[in-house]
């Protein structure tokens, strides 16, 4: 081999080595980020927003590795993973959260928020930020409120048009005492279940229905396993961007500020995704043959829930409920 050819090969090999070392360095410290739904969902939008913001502000020092679609387990396991430090970051619904941070259950009360703007104002204002601070005492670092939208009811038995139609329906609910009380009070038979079990339970008919926002319905193609959709909008569903305290403890103040700001960007991306999917998701469900009841008498649902509201007021304090109602 000529000198030239040997030195050319050596240069190429050296460059390749430097490039691959560079790629490893650019990959940065790994941050495992888990969530329940596909990467094409509002959770994925939030995760991408968070990850891109960190990439931009901290220049490749950290790199998010996403685990969508419950790859790290159900939401309860994910939260436990954060507490143990086996997972660095997660985006979770409030479904299982109130078992860890009791006070958070207040946001799960049916018809608590007048509309999306009210919910966002409460969560982004003093009340919501004080609530995030409470996570610290339970071994969790909560950084921002993202969104899923308002939850609606689906089932395979019949069209639900009124409270009376709820009677006896076996509805999967999250492992959330506030939701369980609400569905029991409405006459349904609530079955708490972790999300990864839901689709097969619907297929097998061990439950009749479930309740989730349009964002979840569309990203999981729930029309494949559910016939009826009723736009009950019975409860607003936020999500929380959370980090593990052991990872958080190793960050500098500037890095903590960047992760917090990044979570806020991710949260905004999840809300933008929900705004878009809310408009087209119902039409998509109809086009796949779902029977849709567009509206229910929400006042009648609220009246039927009166015994539950008395329990919630005792649990969370009427003052807390009034504080939320008074946010403009
Ligand atoms: O119903 C639930 O458990 C949640 O809304 C879901 C679908 C896991 C998204 O967080």
Where do the domains of the chain lie? 29-325
Residue 202: phi and psi, rounded to 5, are -70, -40
pLDDT at 316 over 80: yes
Confidence of residue 322 (pLDDT cuts 50, 70, 90): very high
The residue behind tokens 């601070």 is: 133
Confidence of residue 287 (pLDDT cuts 50, 70, 90): very high
pLDDT at 135 over 70: yes
Distance from the first to the final alpha carbon of the chain: 79
Q: Which pLDDT does position 165 carry in this prediction?
A: 98
Q: What pTM does this model have?
A: 0.92
Q: Which pLDDT does position 301 carry in this prediction?
A: 98
Q: Which pLDDT does position 80 carry in this prediction?
A: 98
Looking at the structure, give the CATH architecture of the domain made up of residues 29-325: 3-Layer(aba) Sandwich (3.40)
Nearest CA to ligand 1 atom 4: 93
pLDDT at 163 over 60: yes
Give CA–CA dist 158/168, Å, rounded: 12
pLDDT at 107 over 90: yes
pLDDT at 4 over 80: no
pLDDT at 245 over 70: yes
pLDDT at 115 over 70: yes
Cβ 93 under 6 angstroms from ligand 1:
yes
25 CA distance to ligand 1 middle (Å): 35
Give CA–CA dist 175/194, Å, rounded: 7
Residue 170: phi and psi, rounded to 5, are -85, 100
Cβ 312 under 6 angstroms from ligand 1:
no
pLDDT tens by residue, 255-280:
999 999 999 999 999 999 999 999 89
Q: Which pLDDT does position 184 carry in this prediction?
A: 98
C-alpha triplet 171, 175, 177: angle, nearest 5°: 90
What is the average pLDDT score of the chain? 93
226 CA distance to ligand 1 middle (Å): 16
């Amino acid at each position: 081999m000529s000198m030239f050819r040997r030195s050319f090969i050596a240069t190429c090999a050296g460059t390749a080595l430097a490039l691959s070392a560079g790629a490893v360095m650019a990959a940065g410290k790994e941050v495992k980020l888990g969530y329940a739904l596909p990467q094409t969902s509002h959770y994925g939008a939030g995760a991408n927003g968070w990850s891109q913001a960190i990439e931009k502000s901290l220049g490749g020092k950290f790199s998010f590795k996403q685990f969508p679609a419950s790859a790290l387990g159900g939401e309860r396991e994910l939260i436990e993973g954060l507490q143990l430090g086996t997972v660095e970051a997660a985006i979770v619904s409030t479904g299982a959260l109130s078992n860890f941070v009791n006070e958070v259950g207040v946001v799960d009360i049916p018809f608590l928020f007048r509309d999306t703007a009210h919910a966002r104002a409460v969560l982004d204002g003093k009340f919501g930020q004080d609530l995030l601070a409470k996570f610290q005492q339970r071994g969790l670092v909560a950084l921002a409120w993202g969104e899923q939208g308002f939850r609606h009811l689906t089932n395979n038995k019949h069209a639900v048009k009124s409270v009376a139609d709820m009677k006896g329906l076996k509805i999967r609910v999250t492992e959330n005492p506030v939701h369980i009380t609400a569905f029991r009070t409405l006459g349904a038979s609530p079955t708490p279940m972790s999300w990864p079990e839901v689709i097969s339970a619907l297929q097998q008919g061990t439950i009749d229905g479930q309740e989730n926002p349009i964002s979840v319905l569309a990203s999981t193609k729930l029309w494949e396993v559910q016939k009826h959709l009723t736009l009950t909008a019975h409860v607003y569903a936020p999500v929380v961007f959370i980090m593990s305290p052991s990872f958080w403890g190793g960050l500098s103040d500037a890095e903590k500020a960047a992760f917090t700001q990044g979570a806020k960007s991710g949260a905004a991306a999840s809300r933008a995704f929900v705004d878009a999917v809310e408009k087209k998701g119902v039409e998509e469900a109809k086009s796949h043959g779902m029977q849709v009841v567009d509206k229910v008498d929400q006042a009648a649902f609220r009246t039927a829930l009166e015994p539950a509201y008395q329990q919630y007021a005792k649990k969370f304090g009427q003052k807390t409920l009034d504080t939320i109602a008074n946010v403009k």
